[in-house]
């Protein structure tokens, strides 16, 4: 039976103590004379387990991040946390390390360092998805193709001053816009949209939820008319599915925790001024994995943008062209509920998402509502736009 390394070491020492020469021992055991001398010295040192040998290899794991770098990651994180507006995740920390002239470790390594330092915790996204049911997402490749917008409020300042925040975000660049308004009337929201678009540019589509003043139970109002007159297609997500507007919902949370709950505002003008400052800070500093770590300002590019016309220059009434999109889930009753109507759908689309397209350019006699599933028309209907 082959001897273990420890047994060979003990045999070499025993034979040397018996008077055998190091050369003969080394030759018979297939080792060097230096090896024999080494283990004789170890035995003479008096350690009980001298034949086992010391631990080999470096003092730290080969891929373990240097202690100095780990400490720097935690210092940078602490500095970012001190700025209530700043992002504090791995992307932001890596960017700050780069500015210090330090090669940042992989993002996952930064997350592990934060976890070891007790500086982070994982949170569930809370996103709910019906499994196995395809959803008609909009493909976004360039800035300006899709904005999401949402109305936050009512909120209150000291003294009972009420306000709303109309927030918008570009899905490609993550550029945000914030408009603080005193109420949620159609006129206030429409004016706020024009102000947002004057900074972000006009989108091809504007994705909204089904609350007022975006859409009313029995008709479409000024906000939708404004979109159509500016060449923007309003797109409404399914009712009671706010996660379909997930990007703006996430930004609303950032707006609330990083901005509104971090300061005290003396008046509505003060809040408006600080909200514009937070918008600029976000667009110049926040970094997103979806944009490969670039800021919204860096991702917006210098491409062609469309800019809105002032409200005063828009004609009265509805335009002769344009379209409005509604994404809806068809349940077992086969009903598409839209603008106060319940339109019966084919049995083939039960438990499926469809996109109902209201086309202003199509005469009502030809069916100005087309219902699409996977790009194919499954139903048509005539429907009145309505208004308020």
Q: How confident is the model at residue 197 (pLDDT cuts 50, 70, 90)?
A: very high
Q: What is the pLDDT of residue 152?
A: 93
pLDDT of 124 over the 60 cut: no
pTM: 0.69
The pairing of strands 233-236 and 323-330 is parallel
Separation of alpha carbons 354 and 356, rounded Å: 6
* DSSP class of 244: G
Higher per-residue pLDDT: 13 or 65: 13
For the beta carbon of residue 299, count every other beta carbon within 10 angstroms. 20
Residue 98 has phi, psi (to 5 degrees) of -60, -40
* DSSP class of 138: P
Q: How far is CA 109 from CA 1, 66, 144, 267, in A?
A: 46, 12, 34, 44
pLDDT of 356 over the 80 cut: yes
Dump pLDDT digits (tens) for 281-312. Answer: 999 988 888 888 889 999 887 567 899 999 88
Separation of alpha carbons 291 and 179, rounded Å: 24
The pairing of strands 376-381 and 352-359 is unpaired
Residue 50 has phi, psi (to 5 degrees) of -60, -30
Q: How confident is the model at residue 86 (pLDDT cuts 50, 70, 90)?
A: confident
Dump pLDDT digits (tens) for 313-343. Answer: 888 888 888 999 999 999 999 999 988 889 9
pLDDT of 60 over the 70 cut: no
Sheet of 352-359: strands edge to edge?
176-181, 162-170, 146-156, 205-208, 233-236, 323-330, 352-359, 369-373, 376-381
pLDDT of 122 over the 50 cut: no
pLDDT of 52 over the 90 cut: no
DSSP secondary structure of 300-355: H-S-----PPPGGGSPSS--SS-EEEEEEEE-TT-EEEETTEEEE--GGGTTEEEE
* DSSP class of 213: T
Q: What is the pLDDT of residue 196?
A: 97
Q: How far is CA 118 from CA 2, 70, 154, 170, 209, in A?
A: 49, 12, 36, 33, 38
**Closest of 278, 260, 258, 276 to residue 163, by C-alpha:** 260
- Residues in Cβ contact with 205 at an 8 Å cutoff, skipping those fewer than 6 apart: 138, 145, 146, 147, 232, 233, 234, 235, 325
Separation of alpha carbons 204 and 144, rounded Å: 6
């Amino acid at each position: 039976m082959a001897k273990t390394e420890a047994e060979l070491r003990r045999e070499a020492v025993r034979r040397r103590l018996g008077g055998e020469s190091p050369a003969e021992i080394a030759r018979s055991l297939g080792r060097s004379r230096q090896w024999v001398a080494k283990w004789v010295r170890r035995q003479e040192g008096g350690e009980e387990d001298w034949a086992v040998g010391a631990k080999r290899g470096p003092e730290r794991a080969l891929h373990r991040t240097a202690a100095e770098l780990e400490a720097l990651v935690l210092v940078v994180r602490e500095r970012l946390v001190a700025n209530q507006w700043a992002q504090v995740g791995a992307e932001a920390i890596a960017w700050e390390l780069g500015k210090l002239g330090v090669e940042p470790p992989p993002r996952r390594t930064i997350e592990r360092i934060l976890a070891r330092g007790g500086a982070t915790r994982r949170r569930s996204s809370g996103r709910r998805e019906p499994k196995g049911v395809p959803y008609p997402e909009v493909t976004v490749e360039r800035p300006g193709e899709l904005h999401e917008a949402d109305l936050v409020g009512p909120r209150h300042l000291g003294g009972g001053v009420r306000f709303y925040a109309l927030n918008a975000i570009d899905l490609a660049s993550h550029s945000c816009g914030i408009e603080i308004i005193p109420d949620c009337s159609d006129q206030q929201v429409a004016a706020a949209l024009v102000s947002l678009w004057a900074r972000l540019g006009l989108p091809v589509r504007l994705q909204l939820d089904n609350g007022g003043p975006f859409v009313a139970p029995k008709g479409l109002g000024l906000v939708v008319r404004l979109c159509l007159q500016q060449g923007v297609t309003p797109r409404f997500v399914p009712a009671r599915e706010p996660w379909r507007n997930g990007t703006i919902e996430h930004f609303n949370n950032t707006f609330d925790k990083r901005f509104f709950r971090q300061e005290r505002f003396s008046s509505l003008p003060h809040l408006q001024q600080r909200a514009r400052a937070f918008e600029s800070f976000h667009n110049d500093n926040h970094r997103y994995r979806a944009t490969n770590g670039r800021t919204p300002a860096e991702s917006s590019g210098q491409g062609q943008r469309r800019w809105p016309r002032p409200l005063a220059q828009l004609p009265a009434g509805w335009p002769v062209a344009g379209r409005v999109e509604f994404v809806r889930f068809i349940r077992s009753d086969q009903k598409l509920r839209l603008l106060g109507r319940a339109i019966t759908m084919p049995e083939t689309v039960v438990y499926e998402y469809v996109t109902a397209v209201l086309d202003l350019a199509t005469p009502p006699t030809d069916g100005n509502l087309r219902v699409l599933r996977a790009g194919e028309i499954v139903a048509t209907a005539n429907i009145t736009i309505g208004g308020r």
